[in-house]
Chain A
């Protein structure tokens, strides 16, 4: 047997739907990138990690590239139904033109909108969130989550995205993905159907919060930090009250992770960790980033 040597980093040319169509090819899945995945510097890293995984497992995928446009989710949640439908019809026309059947996206808001709200406007697709897709890859053995960074024993807490969880009842897929990392998973008191919003949904991402006594992302970050450090007393105090959740618990926060599955949660939780001055110890990662790291395919 020949000794195994790791191949050199290889450049990925992301397949664009228009090119595939020109060659009369059709992809197995369309990867819907979403605006955050395309423009937000932090979430672009998630998009790139997910594409590495798609490439790594040899999925025949494509993206819309410049033809993709906002799904209209923030417009619809803000009450601008007209703008939402304009966006939706435009995207549906594009995708139906290519005969798209199956869509995977890393954004729960895009996922919810395309899956639940596009059918009434003529867009019927099988829509999968990337947490479910990653879970399938792991279950099928296509991704072994080995060969890269080890997460064994690291404390991870998963923050449920509202639009994945309560909106669409997906609670287990992201947890199954994290379980495959062999990490030390800890659940926040408010999790799954009782999960607390990060504060960015419903178009809040684009506006200042109304007057109140606390920012929602601070409340949630405090809960995540208290859970990771095991500071039960600090956790008990939560409920809209500003708390000293960085009070040391039995566990050192160093190296622990808040896992998210949504670009807006990513922003809100990262801001929260910075606000609590824990960014040196606690990192916020998307599931795709964790899987790509564990698989050792990040370049």
Chain B
């Protein structure tokens, strides 16, 4: 009775706290600018099934893909057992039953066996993940100025918690199994790993019962704590990867967004009779202040980019293929995504833990003296990073959950150029060449057709003329 009440309270508290945190994050994402990411449900569903559920893009790199697959499938399947734990926890003690899904019979046997095998594999995969991050030197993509301190600790906490959860599961099963063996009873389910471990536990029935309870409570409490850790962690990707892929862009990667307000201006310039649509009005009917061009802060970015910032698991595939980063430039697409998340939480709401990145001298930040007016641009992302981008789309292509760092980079470049006229000088020269000569180089427009002078073709009968 007491256990049931305690469990019900724990469950309500955990889900309540989680909902409270999710609301904050939802509010953060919604400060972003409108972006029509609706429509085309069939195409979006297909992409979500392939990229999110099917992990299609993970398989560009086989080793981490297989390791990740183990943890992912483990997460999905072992969570079926969590349903049982919840039912047992709420009603099992009241009505004196245990392992409520046992009525599934052979399916239950299979489920328990699969769980145990997966749990063991998860421990192996997690150990490999830990080694890839913590060996000396670690994998290159797990290094970098944006991956020190909290992000580094966060990644390891996730791995440790996963091991603890799996160990608790084995503890629970092994103790339960041994208890039943001592009593000469048959425990429903098949437990291939726990069968190997029963010898490690003491033989006292009372002790075994206590151990089984400890394992049971540790497993479910761990899961509920972990659930509430997610919003503060890169591990939130296990939930947001799905909506992020669903809402990701469907157009070719080379297509950059059109700025409609500029289209109206240009059309009005070219055709004086063109009527610019009325400025949007707020809920009270008054005209809204015109938005700036491009992005200076997180609320200037499309909301989809803000959702992406919470879907990022900081794996660094983007940065590892970035030609600028590879050749030692300051730009790291992952940093821009992480900065976006930090900035949202700095400016708006933060979940339970908020430990924004602090960069050392290597990030070449201009000292921020005016904290109240700090913005994403310059406050966290420097123009030097933005101007190093070749817009090659390697980062976009590499992201397993379809995050588009390039879009944020271009939005911030737009702000620099259109609001601050702060492009590098050489680019200003290129702009004026286009304006004056219709070409990015300083050539005379009257020479544009010179290439066709004295052009001969050899060994060819003119087909058109022969007709």
Structural contact, A169 and B388, CB atoms closer than 8 A: no
A151 within 8 A of B: no
List of A residues within 8 angstroms of B389 by Cβ:
202
Structural contact, A120 and B252, CB atoms closer than 8 A: no
A79 within 8 A of B: yes
B70-78, B115-123, B158-166, B429-437: which lies at the interface: B429-437
Structural contact, B449 and A66, CB atoms closer than 8 A: yes
A37-45, A176-184, A271-279, A281-289: which lies at the interface: A37-45
Which single member of B326, B412, B426, B438 contacts A70 (CB below 8 Å)?
A: B438
Given contacts A11-B455, A12-B457, A52-B457, are A82 and B262 in contact (CB under 8 A)?
A: yes
B130 within 8 A of A: no
Number of A-B contacts (CB under 8 A): 268
Query: Which A-chain residue is minimally distant from B452 (CB atoms)?
Result: A14
Cβ < 8 Å to B, chain A residues 190-248: 193-194, 196-197, 199-216, 219-220, 239-240
List of A residues within 8 angstroms of B331 by Cβ:
210
Q: How far is the CB of B259 from chain A (nearest CB, A)?
A: 5
Q: How far is the CA of A137 from the CA of B38 in the complex (A)?
A: 40
What number of A residues sit within 8 Å (CB to CB) of B? 90
Given contacts A58-B462, A80-B423, A215-B327, are A93 and B270 in contact (CB under 8 A)?
A: yes
A124 within 8 A of B: no
Which single member of A55, A65, A112, A210 contacts B329 (CB below 8 Å)?
A: A210
Q: How far is the CA of A194 from the CA of B438 in the complex (A)?
A: 33
List of A residues within 8 angstroms of B430 by Cβ:
74-75, 78, 203, 206-207
List of B residues within 8 angstroms of A22 by Cβ:
none
Which single member of A44, A83, A86, A297 contacts B460 (CB below 8 Å)?
A: A297
Query: Which A-chain residue is minimally distant from B443 (CB atoms)?
Result: A39
Given contacts A39-B448, A89-B267, A166-B392, are A211 and B329 in contact (CB under 8 A)?
A: yes
Structural contact, B263 and A121, CB atoms closer than 8 A: yes
B446 within 8 A of A: yes
Among A74, A85, A199, max chain B CB count under 10 A is at A85
Per-residue contact bits, chain B 252-285, to A (CB 8 Å; 1 contact, 0 not): 1111101100110111011000000000000000
Q: How far is the CA of A238 from the CA of B318 in the complex (A)?
A: 17
Structural contact, B434 and A87, CB atoms closer than 8 A: yes
Given contacts A38-B449, A219-B326, are A79 and B410 in contact (CB under 8 A)?
A: yes
A33 within 8 A of B: yes
Interface size class of B (residues with CB under 8 A): 35 or more
Which single member of A44, A70, A168 contacts B451 (CB below 8 Å)?
A: A44
Query: Which B-chain residue is minimally distant from A56 (CB atoms)?
Result: B460
Given contacts A93-B270, A162-B390, are A79 and B418 in contact (CB under 8 A)?
A: yes
Known: A52-B457, A74-B434, A209-B388. 14 other contacts (CB 8 A): A11-B456, A56-B457, A74-B440, A75-B434, A80-B423, A82-B265, A117-B256, A147-B459, A162-B394, A200-B390, A206-B429, A210-B388, A216-B323, A296-B459
21 A–B contact pairs at CB < 8 A? A7-B459, A9-B456, A12-B456, A39-B443, A47-B451, A55-B462, A66-B445, A69-B445, A77-B256, A79-B414, A79-B415, A79-B418, A80-B414, A85-B266, A89-B270, A112-B252, A121-B263, A166-B397, A202-B390, A207-B424, A299-B457
Contacts from B to A (Cβ < 8 Å) = 60, 140, 251-256, 258-259, 262-263, 265-267, 269-270, 293-294, 321, 323-324, 326-331, 384, 387-394, 396-397, 410, 412-418, 423-424, 426-427, 429-431, 434-435, 438-441, 443, 445-452, 454-464, 467
Contacts from A to B (Cβ < 8 Å) = 6-7, 9-12, 14, 16, 33, 35, 37-40, 44, 47-48, 51-52, 55-58, 60, 63, 65-66, 68-70, 72, 74-83, 85-87, 89, 93, 112, 115-117, 120-121, 147-148, 162-163, 166-169, 193-194, 196-197, 199-216, 219-220, 239-240, 296-299
What are the nearest 3 A-B pairs in CB distance?
A167-B254, A58-B463, A79-B413
